[in-house]
A and B are shown apart, each in its own frame.
Chain A
Amino acid sequence: MLVNRKLILAHFWLAFALFALALCLGAWQMFVRSPLYTWISDPELYYRSLTAHGTVMAYVFPTLVAMGFGYAITESALEQRLVGLRWAWAGFWLVVGGAITAMVPVALGRASVLYTFYPPLIGNAFYYIGVVLVVVGSWIWVALMSINLRLWKQAHPGDPVPLAMFANVAGSYLWAWTAVGAALELLLQIIPVALGLKTTIDAGLARVFFSWTLHAIVYFWLIPAYIAYYVIVPRAIGGRLYSDTMARISFILFLVVAMPIGIHHTFADPQVGAGFKFIHSVFTALVALPTLFTVFTICASVEIAGQLRGGRGLFGWIRALPWNNPIMLAGTFSFIMLGFGGAGGLINMSYQLDMSIHNTQWITGHFHLIFGGAIVIMYFAIAYDLWPHLTGRSLPSLRLARTQLWLWFIGMIVTTFPWHWVGILGMPRRMAYYDFTDPALASQALSVTLSAFGAFILLASGLLFVFILARAYAAPAEHAGPYRFSVPVYPVKSLPLALNGYAIWVALMIGLTLTNYGYPIAALVARQDTSVPAIYEGAQ
């Protein structure tokens, strides 16, 4: 029962339009720092572009997709109208306003600080204020998700919460809590300095606060993709979800262990003790569990689909799968990229192994493969799946959609594999220029060139994606029927309280944050000698 289609479409369209723009910037960056181009002669332009690319891709784009998809799930899974429509629009306009507020100073070259902020470098205050507005807009969404679920529960006492909504609200709670780290950093540390109220900043503390957000934000990006694995993929390929309980446990695990692990981003930082780094390293290993559960459950669900379609034997079901279905294709590509990216992640989370790739291009390759690859390709799948229901028109051509997904998959592999490789060779990240004429770098020129070609393929695929969505409007109107989610093999009649709500898990998430982050933050706050002078961008 999708009633507020305009609201959902507004979120998706803004998300994908900004995505296309930021994708152009990304491809340009890959081009100008590759051997294919001499040098733009002004590194500031590169960092300006990088800041815009990162801010849009990390904060604005996934947040809008999660919000839009969240509203779609609320109406279709709970089968009730969205309560708080005006607030939802207010949240949307806050994100729009925030994105504009942030992007104007970036475009003017006043805030080329990259999306990870990097204090003591301080850019124009409006950049940070814009980012805060985007986050505040998304918090309205969090509140609406919670309120809508509560109203449904009141109307359906004791009924199991539909899986899609259960996962969606888990994701929103995770976001609400994980955004607090960056919010504290911005509101208490960076914005006062950017406004000139203070002139020194504790960069070490800021990095710890940011790590609070930086890792779990990846799981916030990831949750729509995981929801799609569980509730879209099995239905779209004519199968059944293997286990509803396993799905719930996976989302609960994400909620609990995605948060207290962020210090693995500061392994090379001196302000955090080795003991805490070890604790975070081990907890990071735990977050592999929900992913492994998901891989198992989804493969089992897909096998059910293959067998229902007449596939027999150990591998026969694979051939029987509907490979011409874009959702099947997207899910497969996503799993392959998740596999490679996850394997790389195991290296990043290990204290010692990380040392060889820390701050190298390996890291950039890694998060592009996971987020840009495994996650964003599922955003495409979500859009393709929802589009006929939102627009009342069918997609122009499944073949075009398949081509687009293939291009994205190939492009992402061609971009990120050489990227990982040059990282192992020691190429640092966040640099505007590499002198490939130098004998020490010459051997990396081929890999970086390949990577740039990958970026062009990605650009082509991204633009094709937006074209397909726009082209759908030219198709004749038709009724797509109600939007449905996949059905588990064993229908869920009732659930234990713990698996039908979040109280224990949110409490554990906050508790583990206190144990794992409490001391490092308190120790830095208590010390008086840790602040350094801020460096204002463009100051004289």
Chain B
Amino acid sequence: MTRARELFSFRNPYFSAGVGVAAAVFILTALSGFIVLPYAQPELKFTNLWDAICSAAGLPKRSASVAAPKSEHRLSEVILPPITLARPSKEAIGRGATLAQRCAICHGPTGISRADSPNLAGQYASVIYKQLLDFRSGARSNVVMSPFAANLSDQDVADLAAYYGYLPRVPAYHPERQPAPRIVIYGAPLRGIAPCGACHGSLDNKTGSPWLEGQSEAYLKEQLQAFVSGKRTNDINQQMRNIARSMTPQEIDEASAYYASQPPEIAKATY
């Protein structure tokens, strides 16, 4: 105890120098960082000293005068809690199958479309879930599809997702394998485009991104163009719109044709 008292005493030159220098450096840098430097930046305007200190401390402030701009279209509000689609019961899948009768006219009785609508058999449940909810809320709209989604309950949506997720992926029309175009495998780094395959299969899959193999070429192309024109806006943080806008028309054609020609079993390309 006496040793501790001896050590932690300002009579001990090491203690006083150590604490003194550390405190002095901290106080000087704090004065500079919180008072001098904020005022040294002419573009920053403060109402008083406390305001400057709060700003330097990183306290977020709301700009009172300007309201946040309102979006003219609805944004996707889908939240997917981990339990919603986990391990669906047979009953859920069965209910989904019954409900899916009304989808069959466009998406095919087995979930394989003959009408340039997306094939849904074996699509990720999370994808079906998100798109249906977006159609229901109006975040995504389509003259044919929107009325179908309008009256679905949360349970209906989850059951439909479970049913289509449960169906086997059936090989659709795919005349021949072709090498993946650059945009699918490499993206275009200098234009900020990640490879299509990084989210949509071929390389990797990310939650909420559909796998695209064997989908209708016309459908894929139309969706990319809808992202370009801003007709479709239910992509989170504009990630697909930003990508589609930076793609050349030729790349849109290549990517659509490539995915349409691929059999859906392929999870990862060995290129």
Quick check: A283 and B25 within 8 Å, CB to CB?
yes
The answer to whether A273 and B56 touch (CB under 8 A), given A435-B190, A504-B14, is: yes
Tell me which residues across on chain A come within 8 A of B3, comparing CB atoms.
497
Interface size on A, residues (CB 8 A): 50
Asked if B22 and A256 sit within 8 Å, CB to CB, the answer is yes
- Knowing A199-B81, A272-B58, A504-B7 are in contact, say whether A540-B205 is a contact too (CB < 8 A): yes
Q: A274-B33, A275-B56 are in contact. Are A435 and B7 (CB under 8 A)?
A: no
A39 adjacent to B22 (CB under 8 Å): no
Please tell me if B204 contacts chain A, counting CB pairs below 8 Å: yes
Task: Report the bound CA distance from A40 to B144 in whole Å.
Answer: 42
Interchain CA distance A272-B33 in the complex, whole Å: 13
Partner of A279, one of B14, B33, B38, B269: B33
Contact residues, A282-341 vs B (CB, 8 A):
282-283, 286
CB-based contact B58/A275 at 8 Å: yes
Kindly identify, within residues 500 to 517 of chain A, every residue whose CB is under 8 Å from any CB belonging to chain B.
Answer: 501, 503-505, 507-508, 511-512, 515-516
> In the bound complex, how far is the Cα of B73 from the Cα of A468, in angstroms?
68
Complex CA distance for A512 and B29, rounded to whole angstroms: 13
Q: Which residues of B contact A154 (CB under 8 A)?
A: none
Q: How many Å from the CB of B9 to the closest CB on chain A?
A: 10
Which residues of A line the B interface, CB within 8 A?
39, 41-44, 196, 199, 256, 271-279, 282-283, 286, 431, 433-435, 438, 440-441, 496-499, 501, 503-505, 507-508, 511-512, 515-516, 519-520, 523, 533, 535-536, 538-540
Alpha-carbon distance between A497 and B13 when the two chains are bound, in angstroms: 11
Instruction: Say yes or no: A273 contacts B55, CB within 8 Å.
Output: yes
With A and B bound together, what is the CA distance between A196 and B268 in angstroms? Answer: 27
Contacts A433-B186, A434-B189 hold; do A282 and B29 have CB atoms under 8 A apart? yes
A441 near B190: Cβ-Cβ < 8 Å? yes
In the complex, which range does the number of interface residues on chain B fall in?
35 or more
B-side contacts of A256, CB under 8 Å: 18, 22
Which residues in B have their C-beta under 8 angstroms from that of A536? 207
5 A-B pairs, CB-CB below 8 angstroms? Answer: A273-B59, A274-B37, A275-B30, A283-B29, A498-B15
Q: Cβ of B6 and Cβ of A273 under 8 Å apart?
A: no
Query: In the complex, which residues of chain A have a beta carbon less than 8 angstroms from the beta carbon of B269?
Result: 41
Instruction: Give Cα distance in the complex from A540 to B211, angstroms.
Output: 11
B82 part of interface (Cβ distance < 8 Å): yes
Is B219 in contact with chain A by the CB < 8 A criterion? Answer: no
Which of A499, A511, A540 touches B207 (beta carbons < 8 Å)? Answer: A540
Known: A283-B25, A496-B14. A276 touches B203 (CB 8 A): no
Known A497-B3, A498-B14, A540-B126; judge A515-B26 contact (CB<8 A): yes
Q: Beta-carbon contacts of B6-43 to A below 8 Å, as 1s and 0s?
A: 11100010110011001001100110111001100000
- Cβ–Cβ < 8 Å partners of B25 in chain A: 282-283, 286
Give A287 Cβ to nearest chain B Cβ, in Å: 12
A435 touching B58 in the complex, CB below 8 Å, given contacts A282-B29, A498-B7, A512-B22: no
Contacts of B155-193 to chain A: CB distance below 8 A? 185-186, 188-190
Chain B residues positioned under 8 Å from A44 (CB to CB) = 203-204
Q: How far is the CB of A73 from chain B (nearest CB, A)?
A: 24
Given contacts A274-B37, A519-B57, contact A499 B14 (CB under 8 A): yes
Nearest CB on B from A200, distance (A): 10
CA–CA, A199 and B58, complex, Å: 26
How far apart are the CA atoms of A271 and B60 in the complex, in Å?
9
